[in-house]
């Protein structure tokens, strides 16, 4: 198999050691992606119902995307801001968080890394906002109270 230069560069980047700057950034992202324990049953139910855990899911009938099926055309900009705010809350610098926000807002939610999709869900849920996932008759609703 012959790899193009682009692919070689990507493979090489995946095998580079984590720098000192990346280690704290990864820890911040991991902390921001943690779902509050009170909301974990709701999160599991929503993920099962919406995407079966597939982070790249795309609804063919709407712009709903990703693990939590956020409506991409409605949520991408605000989710980028909410993720950046959550990252700052967990210790990321404003400049780094702004860079993350800009990067996330440029790509569809289904293409966001899972940790950022989780951070977005955690940001929304931490505000007590479960209504984007309300569905009449859904057993998930019972976990949201």
Among residues of the chain, what percentage have pLDDT more than 90?
A: 68
Distance, in Å, from the CA atom of 125 to the CA atom of 56, rounded to the nearest integer, reads 21
Q: What is the mean pLDDT of the chain?
A: 86
Q: Where are the domains of the chain?
A: 39-144
User: 74-109, pLDDT tens digit by residue?
Assistant: 898 899 999 999 999 999 999 999 999 999 999 999
The residues with which 70 forms a beta bridge, in sequence order, are 65
Inform me whether the pLDDT recorded for 36 exceeds 60: yes
What number of H helices and E strands is found in the chain?
Answer: 6, 2
The number of beta carbons lying within 10 Å of the beta carbon of residue 63 is 17
pTM: 0.82
The number of beta carbons lying within 10 Å of the beta carbon of residue 74 is 13
Q: How confident is the model at residue 22 (pLDDT cuts 50, 70, 90)?
A: low
The residues with which 58 forms a beta bridge, in sequence order, are 65
Between residues 19 and 130, the one the model is more confident about: 130
Distance, in Å, from the CA atom of 29 to the CA atom of 31, rounded to the nearest integer, reads 5
User: 47-63, pLDDT tens digit by residue?
Assistant: 999 999 999 999 999 99
Distance, in Å, from the CA atom of 44 to the CA atom of 53, rounded to the nearest integer, reads 9
The per-residue pLDDT for 128 is 85
Inform me whether the pLDDT recorded for 144 exceeds 80: yes
The per-residue pLDDT for 74 is 87
């Amino acid at each position: 198999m012959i790899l193009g230069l682009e692919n070689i560069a990507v493979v090489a980047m995946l095998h580079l050691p984590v720098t000192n700057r990346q280690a704290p950034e990864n820890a911040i992202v991991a902390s921001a992606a943690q779902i509050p324990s009170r909301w974990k049953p709701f999160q599991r139910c929503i993920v099962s119902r919406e995407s079966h855990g597939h982070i790249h899911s795309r609804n063919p009938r709407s712009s709903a995307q990703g693990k939590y099926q956020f409506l991409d055309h409605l949520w991408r900009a605000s989710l980028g801001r909410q993720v950046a705010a959550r990252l700052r809350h967990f210790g990321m610098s404003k400049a780094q968080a702004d860079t993350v926000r800009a990067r996330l807002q440029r790509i569809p939610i289904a293409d966001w890394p899972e940790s950022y999709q989780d951070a977005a869900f955690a940001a929304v849920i931490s505000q007590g906002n479960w209504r984007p996932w309300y569905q009449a008759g859904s057993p998930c609703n019972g976990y949201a109270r």
